Amino acid sequence: MGLHVSTHPLTAHLLTVLRDVTTPPSAFRSAARTLSTILSLEATADLESEAVSVQTPLEVTKGSRLENGLAAVPILRAGLSMLEPLLELFPDVAVGYIGLERDHETAEASRYYCKLPKLDGKVAVCLDPMLATGGSAAKAIELIKEGGPKRVVMVSVVAAPEGVEKLQAVHPDVPIYTAGLDRQLNPNKYILPGLGDYGDRLYGTQ
């Protein structure tokens, strides 16, 4: 399982765009969308498929089709930005939503909303762009696991070592896919060097 940091050169370029404080919301959204597409592809590279035969215009040939059901579960609100690229790649994906609120003093996450599809036997992809303390991701994955998925995958744009450590301690069976492993959290639990508040920069609400 473990941590998977993307090594694609386009990933590094897009992450630089997201980090730049001068990047306007429109360019931020565009870069975030493309980066989410790359991470979604990397996180689903080991999906199982079944062998099939298909009729081309000229002859019958062998092919493959995805075998497992797929579910995407963004953590509100910033995780929504990572959903659309996954839906474009996998149109039949089932979608759920988890809303978590972090206590700024304790950094503990509490649920205020949870709506999940049937997860039994599916591969569930948890989406949250910032893996900071790991508290929200750990809580979300706990809720997802209650639905009985075949396995769970975590996808984040940027991760802090503290969040990775927390998630690997609580959910060692869940692989983490990210564009960047940053240095640390500051006293306010923001990722350094990070890219600021993802949701605010995405929606221009700074």
Residue spans of beta strands (DSSP E) within the chain: 3-5, 49-55, 60-66, 70-76, 94-95, 97-102, 109-115, 123-127, 130-131, 151-159, 176-181, 184-185, 191-192
pLDDT at 101: 79
Tokens describing residue 144: 């997802």
Active site residue 20: no
Tokens describing residue 157: 């744009």
Tokens describing residue 30: 């565009």
pLDDT at 203: 79
The DSSP code for 58 is: S
Catalytic position from the list 19, 102, 111, 151: 102
Active site residue 23: no
Tokens describing residue 15: 């992450």
Active site residue 197: yes
Q: Please, are residues 128 and 156 in contact by the beta-carbon 8 Å criterion?
A: yes
Which CATH code, of 3.40.309.10, 3.40.50.2020, 3.90.1300.10, 3.40.640.10, is assigned to 3-44+69-203? Answer: 3.40.50.2020
Q: Which of 36, 127, 123, 110 is CA-nearest to residue 74? A: 127
Catalytic position from the list 33, 37, 151, 197: 197
pLDDT at 100: 85
Q: Where are the domains of the chain?
A: 3-44+69-203
Local confidence pLDDT in tens for the 206 residues of the chain = 699 999 999 999 999 999 999 999 999 999 999 999 999 999 999 998 899 999 999 999 999 988 768 999 999 888 999 999 999 999 889 999 999 876 666 656 778 889 999 999 999 999 999 999 999 999 999 999 999 999 999 999 999 999 999 999 999 999 999 999 999 999 988 999 999 999 889 877 76
Active site residue 92: no
pTM passes above 0.75: yes
